[in-house]
Structure 1
Amino acid sequence: MNKTINAMYFSATDTTKKVVSGIAWQVSENISTEIAINTIDFTLPEVRTKPVSFTEEDILIIGVPVYAGRVPNILLKYLNTITGNGALAIPVVVYGNRNYDDALIELKDVLQLNGFKVIAGGAFIGEHSFSITLAKNRPDEQDMAIIDDFAKQIGKKITTQEEIETVVVKGTRPYRKHYVPKTKDGSPADIRKVVPKTNSNCIDCKLCANLCPMGSIDAEDVSKLNGICIKCGACIKKCPTQAKYYDDQNYLRHKQELEIEFASRREPELFLT
């Protein structure tokens, strides 16, 4: 089978990367051991300036994190520059154990409108970007076993169906509004403008500036932001000296509520038919 497998993802803290890469590798193994995997990591802003095009000979596994139950707004412009030209696609969303709401159906719709044939889809759980305890260390070994089996089923579908069926995934249209946290009195809490602070642990290694997916952290003074913060958690979780933190009370209250209310383990949801 003359196919190219493409693993494409936005993954600030590497959870979506782990899921997408796992699926891509196993699909490759189940179709042909000679198929190479082409990786497109569009986490950093400069990558998102270049449109990508595929052909009927391509299989695309594409993954994004779930933000407030939807595909992140900041990715939609870029995602709509990707053209399928009949390529097969498997959309993947990764969420922090609360819910993925309409993110998967939204990503599927984007792909279909851009010329892809969507043949499978999945919603997986990754450690929440706000927390080190909510869905801690996920995707874990149990998740990866599910990912392997899912990929094997995708490989079987591709190699055995003469006319490969498109897939139906869970979600609603029109899409639900973005999930909104609440203040102590129950009114909506807008945390969009909340930004990380920097403490005296900072050694000015510039790692946070280099990995910020919005390119917002000032490389000359990493305590400053020159753009928006999407609360991806990369600068906090990857800082070698724990110098980055949030102190906004609404943000911290929301984080604590998530950790308590959604502590029970959620499992991946897979769609193949």
Structure 2
Amino acid sequence: MDITSVIMVYFSPTGTSKAVAEGIARGIGRPETVFIDITSPGARKESLSVSEHELLVIAVPVYMGRVPALLNEWMRVLRAEGSPAACVVVCGNRAYENALLELTDRVAGCGGIPIAGASFIGEHSFSSADLPTAEGRPDQHDVCIAESFGRKIIDKLKSASELTAVEVPGTSPYGGMTKLWDVDFISVNDQCVQCGLCAEVCPVGAVDSENSRGVDLEMCITCCACIKTCPQHARGMKPGPVNDAAVRLNSLCKEPMQPEFFL
């Protein structure tokens, strides 16, 4: 089967899913590749229709073993009219649990045919210099594997006379938590110059653009994008449940996980 173009969609508050998606795109090697970043709130309001002659690739991070719940609304306006799709989840070296199955199910529910699936590793959102978890991932080796996955997707399409859905690990009902912690965990020190970058990178608009110390706790998804992108290193974690989780991850998730393919 030949395709006319590639639609590469990613949700990537801290850049890990984006890096994996870009690696896969290089492996696919089609100049007719369109990148769609749905990290910002405004981008997720835009609907997307994909034809049967276009390859859809979706890369998202894993939140507590699930697809981030804030993507539900965007997925409801996705229309994939029999298009082949590759579903990719990026976990923070803990476990992707049922996230990949959930993503493939959702894509199938939108009319797509998930012909490939993969899990990759990205630096955990709670990772820091003091408490690193999967620091620097995806690294160059991960990116090379992503490129290889892209090539394998194209090889499968070229050899397929009929598209069939891939089987991926997971159980349904998916279980796990979809509601994230409603907790005041972000500290801001005197190095803050109110540049507003934290508000710009927040994927849910939880940071007050006029006062960076102001965070809407009900909106916040604990992605830590505001912490990781602060040019002054003025933001960090307060003592509490999120920092405690960072300690556990640093202690229990030291063994590097490796990417997995399903084709």
SS at structure 2 position matched to 1:119: strand
Say whether residues 1:138 and 2:134 are aligned partners: no
Q: Which residue of 1 aligns with 2:240?
A: 249
CA distance in 1, matches of 2:23, 2:235: 30
User: How many angstroms does 1:248 deviate by?
Assistant: 3.5
User: How many angstroms does 1:67 deviate by?
Assistant: 0.4
CA distance in 2, matches of 1:264, 1:192: 30
Deviations 1:15-69 (A, max 9, x none): 0001112112211x2xxx5x31101100000111111111111101101110000
Q: Aligned pair in 2 of structure 1 residues 2, 113: CA closer, same or farther (>3 Å)?
A: closer
Q: Which residue of 2 aligns with 1:115?
A: 111
User: How many angstroms does 1:147 deviate by?
Assistant: 1.3
SS at structure 1 position matched to 2:87: strand
- Count of residue pairs brought into register by the alignment: 258
Structure 1 segments unaligned to the other structure (5+ residues): 181-189
Q: Which residue of 1 aligns with 2:11?
A: 10
Higher fraction of strand: 2
Q: Which residue of 2 aligns with 1:161?
A: 160
CA distance in 2, matches of 1:136, 1:179: 25
TM-score scaled by structure 1? 0.90
Say whether residues 1:49 and 2:40 are aligned partners: no
Alignment of 1:214-233 (within 5 A): 214-226=204-216, 228-233=219-224
CA distance in 2, matches of 1:262, 1:179: 22
CA distance in 2, matches of 1:163, 1:246: 50
RMSD (Å) for aligned C-alpha atoms: 1.6
User: How many angstroms does 1:252 deviate by?
Assistant: 1.3
Q: Which residue of 1 aligns with 2:72?
A: 76
Q: Which residue of 2 aligns with 1:40?
A: 36
Say whether residues 1:204 and 2:194 are aligned partners: yes
Alignment of 1:56-95 (within 5 A): 56-95=52-91
Mapped contact 2:181–2:221 kept (Cα < 8 A)? no
TM-score scaled by structure 2? 0.94
Q: Which segment drifts farther, 97-106 or 220-229? A: 220-229
CA distance in 1, matches of 2:150, 2:188: 41
Mapped contact 1:195–1:229 kept (Cα < 8 A)? no
CA distance in 2, matches of 1:176, 1:129: 22
CA distance in 1, matches of 2:23, 2:211: 37
SS at structure 2 position matched to 1:89: strand
User: How many angstroms does 1:179 deviate by?
Assistant: 9.0
CA distance in 2, matches of 1:235, 1:129: 10
Structure 2 segments unaligned to the other structure (5+ residues): none
CA distance in 1, matches of 2:72, 2:3: 30
SS at structure 2 position matched to 1:53: strand
CA distance in 2, matches of 1:78, 1:196: 28
Mapped contact 2:69–2:178 kept (Cα < 8 A)? no
SS at structure 2 position matched to 1:169: coil
